[in-house]
Amino acid sequence: MEANWAGNLTYGAQRIVHPADRAQLVEALAGAGEVRVVGSRHSFNDITDTTGTLIATDRLPAGVEVDAAAGVVRVGGGVRYGDLAALLDGHGLALPNLASLPHISVAGAIATGTHGSGDRLGSLATSVRALTLLTPGGDEVRYARGDEDFPGAVVHLGALGVVVEVELEVEPAYDVAQTVHERLGWDTAVEHLDALTASATSVSLFTDWSAAGQVAQIWTKHRADAGAPAAADLLPALGATLADGPRHPVPGGDARASTEQGGVAGNWAQRLPHFRLEFTPSSGRELQSEYFVPRADAPAAIEAFRSLGDRISPLLQISEVRTVRADDLWLSPARGQDTVAFHFTWLPDQPAVGALLPQIEGALPPSVRPHWGKLWRMDPAFVTSRFPDWDRFARLRAQLDPERRFVNGFLRRLGL
């Protein structure tokens, strides 16, 4: 049996197919029964699982077409961001943002609202100009920015069809410098949170929520064309110290897997992610959860996590705090609000983590939204109530998949 990337979920599919072209993809969709799609397998819950046919996109053609004049690149949905970034860099082009892992697929990342960090940077889905879906009936449907249902088709939870092409906006390549500071007290961090997250193009705060009460590491990534980063003066002024060498976010992790630090400006694709493509991402054996709250509720969320630190820390490898710019995508965790995201990389102990999650979720502000592809235990009806366009999305799903071929257990729990 095949499993997801972390190994915490064994797929229940009757068959797993790896189509190598459009004809084989159409054949995989033919017939009756439930069908789902899986890319890089970097989901930690059963969002991609199925009792029927699981379609893996890893052998589909990359289909990369660069249109520098139009500022777009067209790619197949199964392409990984790290591979796409290397190709774009060869053309002197760049994406506006990347997630911490370059190993994830384009289609999977946008379908779940996956993101990087930056007050002025949206999730990866906000770079989508258009996408083409293959419906269960084998028909192609294209949605472009400006179309009425485009905001519902981008972050789609795999419920609308197979993404066969994505059109992403690109820009001229740029350099990024990455710097790591250490040991900042949480009281100081909360007091100056807005200044901290605005102090560079991308800012990540790493902590274990223990009684020590510290942000262990602050990673800042700053575009060389954006002037001097405020973080260079702000962080020392707040009491943080400059790291004396390269760091891995997870204590004890091999820093060789991390992208280049030390404030040396260089290739955007080799600085915006936290990890190098050729290494195992993050720690390898792990579970993940992530919660999003509006910026105004970030201090309350931080207080909730700190109050549960004695329960969180023993199960935690590391936690990361990032920011995401508001967008208009119906199912995006940043829909309609500038957002602070709290990510948890857990030890691979699913029973213990599963028992802890309701305690965490019960302490968070009611504005909270989960990451669709990670572990959470909130009531599904509460989760869907956090998205004002949920009913519009349900109607779009019914329109594209009237026979409910793409509806699995995960989506049924959400009422689709």
- Each residue of 93-146: pLDDT tens digit? 999 999 998 899 999 999 999 999 999 999 999 999 999 999 988 899 999 999
Q: Which residue from 203, 214, 206, 209 is spatially nearest to 179, judged by alpha carbons? A: 203
Q: Which residue from 340, 281, 363 is spatially nearest to 99, judged by alpha carbons? A: 281
CB atoms closer than 10 angstroms to residue 262: 13
What is the mean pLDDT of the segment spanning 342-359? 98
Confirm whether pTM is higher than 0.85.
yes
**Which tops the pLDDT comparison, 374 or 61?**
374
Of the ranges 38-42, 91-95, 251-255, 279-283, the best mean pLDDT one: 91-95
Task: Write down the residue that tokens 């500022």 correspond to.
Answer: 71
Task: Write down the residue that tokens 């083409």 correspond to.
Answer: 132
Strands 162-169 and 72-75: antiparallel
Residue boundaries of the structural domains of the chain: 65-173, 175-378
Q: Is 83 exposed, middle or buried (0-12, 13-18, 19+ CB in 10 A)?
A: middle
Contacts of 268 (CB under 8 A, 6+ apart): 85, 89, 94, 98, 173, 174, 175, 176, 223
CA distance 236 to 217: 13
Quote the pLDDT of residue 247. 97
Strand partners of residue 214: 185
Q: Assign residue 66 a region: left if phi > 0, alpha if psi is -120 to 50, beta otherwise? A: beta
Q: Which residue from 64, 71, 74 is spatially nearest to 92, judged by alpha carbons? A: 71
Largest CA distance in the chain: 64
What is the mean pLDDT of the segment spanning 322-343? 98
Residue count (the chain): 416
Cβ proximity of 221 and 271 under 8 Å: yes
Task: Write down the residue that tokens 């509460």 correspond to.
Answer: 382
Cβ proximity of 167 and 129 under 8 Å: yes
Quote the pLDDT of residue 131. 97
Q: Which residue from 234, 248, 161 is spatially nearest to 194, judged by alpha carbons? A: 234
Q: Which residue from 117, 159, 24, 156 is spatially nearest to 323, judged by alpha carbons? A: 117
C-alpha torsion sign, points 262, 267, 271, 277: negative
- Each residue of 259-284: pLDDT tens digit? 999 999 999 999 999 999 887 666 56
What is the mean pLDDT of the segment spanning 375-382? 98
Backbone angles phi, psi at 404, to 5 degrees: 60, 35
Residue 308 has pLDDT above 80, yes or no: yes
CB atoms closer than 10 angstroms to residue 395: 12
Quote the pLDDT of residue 1. 63
Confidence label for 75 from pLDDT (cuts 50, 70 and 90):
very high
Domain 65-173: which topology?
Answer: 3.30.465
Strand partners of residue 185: 214
Quote the pLDDT of residue 12. 93
**Which tops the pLDDT comparison, 77 or 76?**
76
Contacts of 158 (CB under 8 A, 6+ apart): 36, 37, 47, 48, 111, 406
Query: Does CATH place domain 175-378 in 3.40.250.10?
Result: no
For the stretch 389-395, contacts whose Cβ atoms lie closer than 8 Å and that sit 24 or more positions apart, written own/partner, are 389/151, 389/152, 389/330, 389/331, 389/335, 390/330, 390/331, 392/152, 392/330, 393/152, 393/156, 393/159, 393/330, 393/331
DSSP string spanning 356-405?
HHHHHHHHS-TT-EE-TTS---S-HHHHHHT-TTHHHHHHHHHHH-TT-T
Percent of the chain whose pLDDT exceeds 90: 91
